[in-house]
Amino acid sequence: MQGDLSARYHGRHRREVPAPDPELTAVGPGTPCGEYLRAAWQPVCLSSQLGELPLAIRILGEDLVAFRDGAGGIGVLHRHCSHRGASLEFGRIMPRGISCCYHGWHYDLDGTILATPAEPPTSRIRETLRHGAYPAVEKHGLVFAWLGDPAAVPPPPVLDVEDEPGVTLAPFLLEIPCNWLQVYENSQDPVHVVWLHARNAGAHFDESNAADQELDFAPTPLGMMNVQTRRWGGMVWTRTVECILPNLNQTGAIWEDAAAEKAFQRVGMTRWVVPVDDTASLQIGWRHLGAHLDPNGKDRPAEIGLGRIDFEGQDASATYADRQRRPGDYDAQVSQRPVAVHALEHLAGSDRGVAMLRRMLRRAVRAEAKPVAAAGGVLATFCQDTVTGLPPAADDRALLRAHGAAVARAVLESAGLPREARRAAISAAARGTSLPNEETSA
């Protein structure tokens, strides 16, 4: 271990740590990415967190307070009172709105000053000022706020999977101490499913996840999706996982085992990655629970909620050594540094999805684009699982690619159809593949 080792040991040549990529990672007021994220409704807390007392929250670098008033309305207000700056987390929830503990300034849900009890009745201060407030709505146990331009507030998005028959939505919230993007882009990185979740240290999900994937990536109207096609015994399983820009993603049934045929089985989890600030984020969304999504009874509804979810590796609750032995998404993502340094990465072929997602985000940020999701209406989404009995072909990889391409194309092209018609179209496409003849383009 001496002499000229410079050909082998590159530690010294590669020791500099450049700055991160603020165009996609800085989220405070006025930053390009922060403004882009504010052009979508963002979930900010669980309905169940709004009880007897106000809730201090921090979203996109802004200190806020959320509460439900006596009439059941939701307020999302600037945390510090407009009068003297005392925090409204110590405020008193009123039949209507909230009042500050210090001098009783009383705010309605929209920041209207209802009363300044220490001022004389003739005071006009209430008319000259409104407290900082953001529009807020509540849906399926999540509270959404609009931190974008108040002159053009779109209706909160409605996803086509919110009212699926036989499905209940279980809200959850997890805090992740790192930048939002390294959490979000994980969902367009299907290879980590095979490695981190299956081959590295044993299965986090069903063992079918360890099967080699044929992969494709395609734009969707609101973002992009990856197409994972696997051989599992006599079955071919095509899963599509969608990112709806700027920061929503949906994936399939958590415990899918590809044991039975199905077509267009919908979402197992809807999840937003909401920045708390540049170095912390929330994973907040719904687990979709239903008998058809969990044939083996592995869902654990009691483990879904504030700070909890019913699958492994999503927090730091295990010991450090156990996390080293069986690392999960949390460990792989958070350990990339508080803000991942893109300039040190080496993206390769298997990172096509991550690269494509960043390109789409960067283009949108630079264009000061409004997310398409802001357009309103019921949004057709593209996450699903289709499992088809299909015997192996001589060139089985080619069969998988062709099958996946056919399913993906049907998923995309059926977007305008009602649910069952869409399922039928996708089912037909899945059953129609037996020979490799074409593929979707990346």
Residue 135 or 290 having the CB closest to a copy of itself:
135
CB of 130 to a copy of itself, least distance (A): 4
Half-sphere exposure of 174 (CA within 13 A, CB side): 26
Q: How many positions of this chain bind a copy of itself (CB under 8 A)?
A: 101
Cα–Cα distance for residue pair 241/315, rounded to 1 Å: 22
Q: Which helix (H) or strand (E) holds 403?
A: helix 396-413
Residue 355 or 417 having the CB closest to a copy of itself:
355
CB of 254 to a copy of itself, least distance (A): 20
Task: Decide if residue 10 touches a copy of itself (CB under 8 A).
Answer: yes
Please choose, out of 132-140, 229-237, 277-285, 400-408, the segment that lies near a copy of itself by the rule CB under 8 A.
132-140
Binding mask 321-340 for a copy of itself (x = CB under 8 A): x-xxx-x---xxx-xxx--x
Scanning residues 233 to 292, which ones bind a copy of itself (CB under 8 A)?
Answer: none
Which residue from 234, 301, 376, 389 is in contact with a copy of itself, where contact means CB under 8 A?
376
434-439 long-range contacts, CB within 8 A, separation 24+: 434/390, 434/393, 434/399, 435/393, 435/399, 435/402, 436/393, 436/395, 436/398, 436/399, 436/401, 436/402, 437/402, 438/402, 438/405, 439/216, 439/401, 439/402, 439/405
C-beta separation of 98 from 69 below 8 A: yes
Task: Decide if residue 152 touches a copy of itself (CB under 8 A).
Answer: yes
Residue 230 or 262 having the CB closest to a copy of itself:
230
Which residue from 21, 69, 89, 299 is in contact with a copy of itself, where contact means CB under 8 A?
89
CB of 341 to a copy of itself, least distance (A): 6
CB of 258 to a copy of itself, least distance (A): 20
Which residue from 45, 69, 131, 311 is in contact with a copy of itself, where contact means CB under 8 A?
131
- Burial letters for 398-408: b for 16+ Cβ neighbours within 10 Å, e otherwise? ebbbbbbbbbb
Assign residue 97 a region (left: φ > 0; alpha: ψ between -120 and 50; beta: otherwise): left
Assign residue 141 a region (left: φ > 0; alpha: ψ between -120 and 50; beta: otherwise): left
Cα–Cα distance for residue pair 77/115, rounded to 1 Å: 16
As beta bridge partners, residue 289 has 168
Task: Decide if residue 146 touches a copy of itself (CB under 8 A).
Answer: yes
Cα angle, residue 366 at apex, residues 361 and 367 outer, rounded to 5°: 100
Residue 223 or 328 having the CB closest to a copy of itself:
328
Task: Decide if residue 73 touches a copy of itself (CB under 8 A).
Answer: no
CB of 64 to a copy of itself, least distance (A): 8
Scanning residues 98 to 127, which ones bind a copy of itself (CB under 8 A)?
Answer: 99, 101-104, 110-112, 116-120, 123, 125
Task: Decide if residue 140 touches a copy of itself (CB under 8 A).
Answer: no
As beta bridge partners, residue 275 has 281
Phi, psi of 253 (to 5 degrees): -55, 130
Task: Decide if residue 1 touches a copy of itself (CB under 8 A).
Answer: yes
Task: Decide if residue 307 touches a copy of itself (CB under 8 A).
Answer: no
Which residue from 72, 346, 394, 416 is in contact with a copy of itself, where contact means CB under 8 A?
346
Helical packing angle, 396-413 and 419-431, nearest 10°:
160
C-beta separation of 35 from 26 below 8 A: no
Query: H/E/C letters for each residue in 30-70?
Result: CCHHHHHHHCCCEEEEEHHHCCCCCEEEEECCEEEEEEECC
Scanning residues 29 to 68, which ones bind a copy of itself (CB under 8 A)?
Answer: 29, 38, 52-54, 62
Task: Decide if residue 319 touches a copy of itself (CB under 8 A).
Answer: no
Task: Decide if residue 78 touches a copy of itself (CB under 8 A).
Answer: yes
Task: Decide if residue 202 touches a copy of itself (CB under 8 A).
Answer: no
Residue 48 or 296 having the CB closest to a copy of itself:
48
**Which residues have a Cβ under 8 Å from the Cβ of 15 and sit 6 or more positions away?**
none
Scanning residues 153 to 182, which ones bind a copy of itself (CB under 8 A)?
Answer: 153-156
Please choose, out of 159-167, 248-256, 341-349, 403-411, the segment that lies near a copy of itself by the rule CB under 8 A.
341-349
